[in-house]
Chains A and B, each alone.
Chain A
Amino acid sequence: MSKYRNLVIGTALASALLAGPALAGEYGLGRTATPEEIAAWNLDVSPDGTGLPDGSGSVEQGETLFVERCAVCHGEFAEGVGRWPKLAGGEGTLDRADPVKTVGSYWPYLSTAWDYIHRSMPFGNAQTLTADETYAITAYILYSNFLVDSDFVLSDENFLDVEMPNADGFIVDDREKVEFPKFIREPCMEDCKDSVEITMHASVLDVTPGTETDEEAAAAQQDAAPQDEAKAEPEPAAPAGPDPELVAAGEKVFRQCKACHMIGDGAKNRVGPHLNGVLGRTVGSVDGFRYSRTMAEMGEDGKVWDAESLGTFLENPRDYVSRTKMAFRGLSDAADREAVIAYLSTFE
């Protein structure tokens, strides 16, 4: 909760020093947690509202925040993009084939949504929403599920008044009662059925990944090729493009970027801008992407990405571009940076 996080930073260390060893435990190990430390970590919110901080936010404020911080993955109306989770819709589908489970159709408690969004979202930049922002976004998700009106304001005071449609949709595990009588029994050993037919083959669907993923097979081939060449020809001509081995390694490193960046055919902006042709591209220049002010200004000053500046940026994004929106800790390993830049350079 940013509201008292500032306070925590100021006092935690001082009080930790004062706290001293805990008394009374059998082993006398550990030390007493300070109130500030507990406040910093004890954020969970229970169905009865325990743990909710004071605050409020409107559907309208929530919409702006959601479009800016959540919609790349969850869609502007929380309907979900591609395989990213849907947060709205699905009412009336729980008893059908392939039910659509969303905050509106499935979640029994609103506290769960508030708590999860506050602690775990946005994906890749968690624990950055204030209490008021979380109220606003939660209100907007309720609105997207047609559970509140557009002028609704959610706060700690009216929180428990919101009715969740599937609140009564859950029963406590009853396997012992329902299933044990059937499954605790003497197993049949002979003549257990008259005949056996195959009723379904996995090969019909054929969704099993290859035993060696194509990607790895390709990398293995690339591994082998240059060596063979080297044997045949002691001084090979300098390769025209980047080293394929390095590119393959870079593709692996790029997995760390994929949550936010697309690259290749049809790449779109997501949490971060698409990265096609980023080498030689003016900094902060992809149309329709809302950059941080710092990055946009670097572009306006004519700064262009090259291998060197990318390397510095990727080592520590926040050092190179102060207040960048790229919430990524950076690549501390120079080899990873070199590899990923080689990989990026293969996309026009």
Chain B
Amino acid sequence: MTDQSGSSTTRRGFLQAGLAAGGAVATAGAARAAGDPLITEVQPWARFTGVGVDAVPYGLPIKFEDDVIRRNVPWLTAETMSSVNFTPIHALDGTITPQGCAFERHHSGAIELRKEDYRLMINGLVDRPLVFTYADLERFPRENHVYFLECAANSGMEWAGAQLNGAQFTHGMIHNMEYSGVPLRTLLEEAGLDAAGTLKDKWIYVEGADASSNGRSIPMDKALDDVLVAFKANGEALRKEHGYPVRLVVPGWEGNMWVKWLRRVEVMDGPVESREETSKYTDTLADGTSRKWTWEMDAKSVITSPSPQSPITHGPGPLVITGLAWSGRGAIERVDVSTDGGMTWRTARLAAPGQDKAVSRFYLDVDWDGSELLLQSRAMDSLGYVQPTKDALRAIRGENSIYHNNGIQTWWVKPNGEAENVEVS
């Protein structure tokens, strides 16, 4: 991962644009003396009509927001069908991720599967192996839940040190949506679990319909607890890149288990130990042994603004520091923010009480004096687990884990408002 194909000029160009925008504030100030023409002169939009209701049957964001998009890191993978892109978390607010910019991770590309061609099979140790159509699924009692999905490899490029300049790239393999679907428990019970005998030591194997045939083993306890077979996200059909028409939702657990284009659930005596749970998604420790079945995503947070892609452009004075926090083991209880690299901390304001296995938004409203900041955030969840520093994680795991890096992120904000990804002592 040392291929250096990224270009710095574009980023510099971007920062200059940001600073120029800061300049624009000053110009606007000068204009204000004589009266801001945006106010004193009739503007075209105040005079002519806009477009009609038939112009855009399904809307995209306005063109001025066309830089709020998923981005990928081309040097990461050989091609883009088995690859990942990142949610522009630096430019979003609130907690719900719009589907259109929610990150994608595929192992064989995003496929197009019609509802009419969709089949879900339940087989293995069940009383009656069943096949459901999409229309069948819509007839089971439904639930709605907001959950985050984080890829286990989120921040994985940062194990050996600060690499990527931007919250989108360091923390953007996450999204948070409201799902509508049927509890997997309901479907398993429809097939009947008497044949499985004691359920405690049983597993399910879940598998997708795409060419990667991505499959994961999940212990029966979890399967019967809160796993959802979802067909809607944020109120509308899943996007094809997120598994249209049906995906699995495995709350709090690593994203790879949320099998897309779900086609089969098999009740089994033990785990399959598929490629995605042996070769991948196992965490190698310093001594060369590897942890497996590291499913839960531990408490984590990141400041999304200011951050390298979202510099401060307004100079000293009121500044909103904001970010996201989440835990796969419960709800976010509290987030602390440090502006001095972790010497002192202040408790931030949660926009709403933390929800189980869902993202929380936090704010810290400060009066910035224009001096440099070493910004950090630290999440605490309902277990009392406090997000550790990256060094504390490395002390236990070494640097080869790839997955589950939930260490505290530091942004170095300079007096000119630019921010950089750094590590501190």
Asked if B129 is at the interface of the complex by the 8 Å CB criterion, the answer is yes
Q: Which residue of B lies closest to A115 (CB)?
A: B274
Number of interface residues, chain A, beta carbon within 8 A: 91
Which residues of the other chain, A, contact B8 by a CB distance below 8 angstroms? 203, 206, 208
Q: Which residue of A lies closest to B1 (CB)?
A: A207
Asked if A82 is at the interface of the complex by the 8 Å CB criterion, the answer is yes
Binds B, one of A149-157, A172-180, A280-288, A302-310: A172-180
Tier of interface size on chain B: 35 or more
Interface residues of B in 1-28 (CB under 8 A from A): 1-11, 13-14
What mask results when residues 53 to 82 of chain B are scored 1 for a CB within 8 Å of chain A, else 0?
Answer: 000000000000001000111110111111
Give A217 to B161 CA distance when docked, in angstroms: 30
What mask results when residues 14 to 47 of chain A are scored 1 for a CB within 8 Å of chain B, else 0?
Answer: 0000000011111101111100011001101111
* CB–CB B79/A258 < 8 A: yes
Which one, B14, B80, B140, contacts A27 given CB within 8 A? B140
* CB–CB B268/A46 < 8 A: yes
* CB–CB B383/A25 < 8 A: no
* CB–CB B7/A210 < 8 A: yes
Which residues of the other chain, B, contact A24 by a CB distance below 8 angstroms? 127-128, 192
A interface: dominant SS: loop
* CB–CB A182/B163 < 8 A: no
Asked if A240 is at the interface of the complex by the 8 Å CB criterion, the answer is no
Which one, B9, B131, B213, contacts A31 given CB within 8 A? B131
Which residues of the other chain, B, contact A44 by a CB distance below 8 angstroms? 205, 207, 215, 266, 272, 274
Give A259 to B324 CA distance when docked, in angstroms: 36
Asked if A195 is at the interface of the complex by the 8 Å CB criterion, the answer is yes
* CB–CB A31/B130 < 8 A: yes
* CB–CB B293/A184 < 8 A: no
**Contact A33:B131 (CB < 8 A) given known A41-B263, A120-B211:** yes
Interface residues of A in 170-226 (CB under 8 A from B): 170-175, 178-180, 182-185, 187-203, 205-214, 217
* CB–CB A184/B108 < 8 A: no
Binds A, one of B242-250, B337-345, B363-371: B337-345
Give A116 to B71 CA distance when docked, in angstroms: 29
Asked if A255 is at the interface of the complex by the 8 Å CB criterion, the answer is yes
Asked if A235 is at the interface of the complex by the 8 Å CB criterion, the answer is no
Asked if A143 is at the interface of the complex by the 8 Å CB criterion, the answer is no
Asked if A83 is at the interface of the complex by the 8 Å CB criterion, the answer is yes
**Contact A170:B268 (CB < 8 A) given known A191-B343, A196-B340:** no
Binds B, one of A58-66, A104-112, A131-139, A318-326: A104-112
* CB–CB B264/A41 < 8 A: yes
Asked if A277 is at the interface of the complex by the 8 Å CB criterion, the answer is no
Which residues of the other chain, A, contact B165 by a CB distance below 8 angstroms? 202-203, 208
* CB–CB A208/B108 < 8 A: no
Which residues of the other chain, B, contact A289 by a CB distance below 8 angstroms? none
User: Chain B's nearest CB lies how many Å from the CB of A34?
Assistant: 8
Asked if A123 is at the interface of the complex by the 8 Å CB criterion, the answer is yes
Which one, A94, A184, A189, A199, contacts B424 given CB within 8 A? A199
Q: Which residue of A lies closest to B410 (CB)?
A: A198
**Contact A120:B412 (CB < 8 A) given known A25-B190, A26-B190, A112-B275:** no
**Contact A82:B78 (CB < 8 A) given known A175-B298, A196-B340, A202-B163:** yes
Which residues of the other chain, A, contact B150 by a CB distance below 8 angstroms? none
* CB–CB B294/A175 < 8 A: yes
Which one, B78, B136, B345, B423, contacts A189 given CB within 8 A? B345
Which residues of the other chain, B, contact A127 by a CB distance below 8 angstroms? 211, 213
Give A38 to B263 CA distance when docked, in angstroms: 12
Query: Can you name 8 A-B pairs with beta carbons within 8 Å?
Result: A27-B186, A106-B279, A171-B291, A182-B396, A187-B345, A187-B380, A210-B13, A258-B79
